[in-house]
Amino acid sequence: MRNVHDNILSCVGDTPIVRLGNLARGLKSNVYAKCEMLNPGGSVKDRIALQIIDDAVAAGELHPGATIVEGTSGNTGAGLAMVAALRGYRTTFVMPDKQSEEKRAALRAYGARVVVTPTAVEPEDERSYYSVSTRLGGEAGAYFANQYHNPSNPKAHYLATGPEIWEQMDGKIDVFVGGLGTGGTITGVGKYLKEQNPDIKIIGVDPVGSLYYDYFHTGELTDAATYVLEGIGEDFLPSTIDFSFIDDVVRVNDKECFQMTRRVVREEGIFCGGSSGAAVAGALKWIRLNDAEGKNVLILLPDSGSRYLSKIFNDAWMREGGFLEPEVGFGSVRDLVHARGDRELIAVEPSDRVTAVVGTMKLHGISQVPVVENGRLRGILTDTSLLERALRVGGGNAAVAELIQANYTTVDLDTEISVLVELFRRVKAAFILDGQRPVGIITKIDLIDYISSLTGAGES
């Protein structure tokens, strides 16, 4: 008998790699996709589900008849529910309400209980899906799978996904690209591949609104915001991500992810979900800047399009979100800077006094200023926060360190204006980085000025 299994669990992994011939047309690099939607539970998360449960049993933390609890965007739930179905555990899953109904239905199909929580609350809020899953996971008879902090998550990819990729590609892989959710995939795969060949580049893809991009480039946590894409991006730092294995982080917006998801299905015939579109969109952006003859790039596609039929593959839903409109070519930050002219970046230090900083801002006529320490960006100061401090007794003499805010983001010269526009829905300013060093600032008015000069808005 060939390819006959004792049960479904040994069908996890060993997924095919497929060349993206159409989408990569015109590029010198060879672009490949690892089709993780072909795992039996429908996603890459089957791999961590098995590892988490095996490790928990081995550690004596998971007993027969226990309930496995998890906060999940759906895929980890499907994986855990599949393993639980065979091993006799019960499952309870906590899901944010932005997740698609198909994902909930898929979990219930395995016999799971699904608890839905609001998306638009802080992680610390007692209603958040992190809080609710932690609480339910702490109850008697429960085992909390905890994919955001469970070392079995990156371990699954270090022990299986990484070696599988290395072997499939005959070691001829130059770049690995994956979305950043828990970071488990990229951390485990990245660690394994770099151990085989330290020159392999590991590229993470992050949606606008998530904090990974800024954190990777500055080491600081900026304010997060909501976005529509499911499965990748976070508003806190999970312990399952290790940035030391990541060489670069590329940022994508909802619209380009969804449009690319549709293209992967139509042009390559691979029925994938939104985070796969995100990974491909991010990978193609990165390759355009780093293209080279014969370079082998592998993109991991985490899940299937079947979970997004009522969203990404539904024209009404896409139109409502403004995701069907063609991207207007306003160019990149480089074009904006060129049009506006280079400006010297005025910056202050954390130890500077409130009065001195107010003086600097007045002198230059600016209402926000970056705080830089040893050439590294620490955050932003706004006239509002300075005013509040100055009003207090002795306020003028205080160091500005305690007034530093996280209401900013970082970009580079290649960041598209379309991405910048979305970023400005949540932040007051964007700093242009050269490595870790901020070299320029873009404010909302700069962006309005630039766009209206291109569209002729404001001219009568």
- Positions touching ligand PMP (CB under 6 A) are 73, 75, 179-185, 231-232, 273, 275, 302-303
Task: Enter the DSSP assignment of 220.
Answer: -
Containing 361, the helix (H) or strand (E) segment is helix 354-364
Q: Which residues contact 239 (CB under 8 A, 6 or more apart)?
A: 148, 149
CB of 72: closest distance to ligand PMP in angstroms? 8
What minimum distance in Å lies between the beta carbon of 187 and ligand PMP? 8
Q: Which of 256, 267, 160, 211 is nearest to 427 (CA)?
A: 211
Cα–Cα–Cα angle for 179, 218, 31, rounded to 5 degrees: 30
Whose Cβ is closer to ligand PMP: residue 62's or residue 279's?
Answer: 279
Helix (H, G, I), strand (E, B) or coil at 225: coil
The SS3 assignment for 252 reads strand
Of 414, 436, 410, 435, the C-alpha closest to 423 is 410
Q: Where are the beta strands (DSSP E) in 224-340?
A: 248-252, 296-301
β-pair partners for 210: 208
Nearest to ligand PMP of 282, 438 (CB atom): 282
Active site residues: 45
CA 429, 435, 440, 442 dihedral sign is negative
Instruction: Between 133 and 185, name the residue whose CB sits nearer to ligand PMP.
Output: 185
Closest CB to ligand PMP among 184 and 438? 184
- Strand order from edge to edge, sheet including 408-411: 408-411, 429-434, 437-443
Task: Supply angle C-alpha 234, 106, 300, rounded to 5.
Answer: 50
Nearer to ligand PMP, 49 or 380 (CB): 49
Least Å distance, CB 398 to ligand PMP, is: 41
